Amino acid sequence: MEALGDSEVGVKKVCVIGLGYIGLPTACILSSKGFKIVGVDINQELVGELNQVNIDPLEPGLVDLANSAIKSGNLIAKISPQEAGVFIICVPTPLIDKNKADLTYVKNAAKNILPYLRKGNLVILESTVPPGTTEVILKPILEESGLNVGSELYLAYCPERVLPGNILKELVENDRIIGGINPESAQLAKEIYQSFVEGKIYLTDATTAEMVKLVENSFRDVNIAFANELSRICDKLNLNVWKVIELASKHPRVNILKPGPGVGGHCIAVDPLFLVEKASDEAKLIKTARCVNDSMPDYTVEKVERAAKEARIKSPIIACLGIAYKAGTGDLRGSPALKIVRRLKEKGYTVRACDPYIKNFNEFPLFSLEETVDGADCLVVLVDHNEFKKVKLGKFLQKMRNKIIIDIRGVWKSRK
Ligand code: SAJ
């Protein structure tokens, strides 16, 4: 028997479109607050697995939360929407043509809910989009329902801001920005989010909220690019970038981010380009930051090659620690570490890689930490997982044939 019937249509029934890394946790949290949730996804396999309470351990705590949401009967997964009081769209907006947002999934989601929209419903978009999308693209599609958006149908943009790896905590604790197509829409959306958000909720217009989301991730990208540029300058001047950053950050108004092998994940390397799409001539710094961060994998490969050459090692065995996109996760999306390992392999080097967070990986064999380091000539730290930080450098050095250390993530900060 289905847990959710049509009789339960109302604000307490919410249809979440897109059960990805934001849609699923949002659906689960809302269901834990007593909302009746229909989670909709085009991925039939995912819908089947969810309903049988058999999902991948994507995110700490999520499997348990999803299990109890399904068991409580408050969450049910479907491949098509149903009537509800509120529709929350959380679908991907990937990049096409190098710097354009592909809004196909957003448009399709909006078209798919058209037959189910009723007077008084609220539609919320959470997907990251270029400024103006809610007003100029989403609103006209929703108006095809015959309802007036603003007075008969309410529409708001509410960007997600959670950090992968800490999603359930940040969904609750972070402040939220809600941009309404009009103040009534923003206020109605606030009533939904305040059921689970403990942070502050700020109301604005939809286009400002869209811009704010892109600004947040561009801020981080530009600041990481600054750290990466410092790392290149320090390499040239034979200085320890970690020491320089540590001391410069002692200034009360200076707080420098960490250099690394580049920027991965599916947000920070993509979202700034939505601003470039809208204002290419003006977004000079943002464009340059993207180039700096994108150049880091190649720069890292060159650094490894240079070190082996200087040590006169003809066929070095290269040990790579980590292939995930950042510490504490097995997420490989856009991972600069994986790019570096691939490039070294393509160049014909003997490369051994390990990553304690990655279980099912078929592209090339992964080794244990010990196997990776044993007999290696060159050790390259690509991800600052805690498991690597815990090991004393001396222990690694004992196991290596030649002792070249390239610590891209600053795990042993005192070395250059
Ligand atoms: N990185 C560095 N140096 C740093 C910080 C990060 O090289 O000092 C690298 C990481 O290793 C990783 C990449 O940048 O490869 C991105 O990692 P991240 O932890 O900065 O961010 P994401 O992509 O996991 O999540 C970001 C978050 N945005 C901000 O912190 C402004 C998150 O809050 C957003 O919700 C998410 O993007 C998103 O969905 O937009």
pLDDT tens digit at each of 416 positions of the chain: 344 444 445 668 999 999 998 999 999 999 999 999 999 999 998 888 888 777 766 678 998 999 899 999 999 999 999 999 999 999 999 999 888 999 999 999 999 999 999 999 999 999 999 999 999 999 999 999 999 999 999 999 999 999 988 999 999 999 999 999 999 999 999 999 999 999 999 999 999 999 999 999 999 999 999 999 999 999 999 999 999 999 999 999 999 999 999 999 989 999 999 999 999 999 999 999 999 999 999 999 999 999 999 999 999 999 999 999 999 999 999 999 999 999 999 999 999 999 999 988 999 999 999 999 999 999 999 999 999 999 988 988 999 999 999 999 999 875 55
**Residue 10 confidence (pLDDT):** 63
**Residue 5 confidence (pLDDT):** 41
Q: Which of 90, 171, 210, 268 to mutate to test the pocket of ligand 1 (most atoms within 8 A of CB)?
A: 268
**Residue 315 confidence (pLDDT):** 93
Active site residues: 213, 267
Q: Which atom of ligand 1 is nearest to the CA of 265?
A: 23
Ligand 1 within 6 A of CB of 164: yes
Q: pTM for the whole thing?
A: 0.94
Ligand 1 within 6 A of CB of 304: no
**Residue 1 confidence (pLDDT):** 31
**Residue 414 confidence (pLDDT):** 58
**Residue 6 confidence (pLDDT):** 44
CA-proximal residue: ligand 1, atom 38 (nearest) = 267
Centre of ligand 1 from the C-alpha of residue 268, in Å? 6
**Residue 4 confidence (pLDDT):** 45
Ligand 1 within 6 A of CB of 220: yes
Distance CA(416)–CA(400), nearest Å, equals 19
Ligand 1 within 6 A of CB of 163: yes
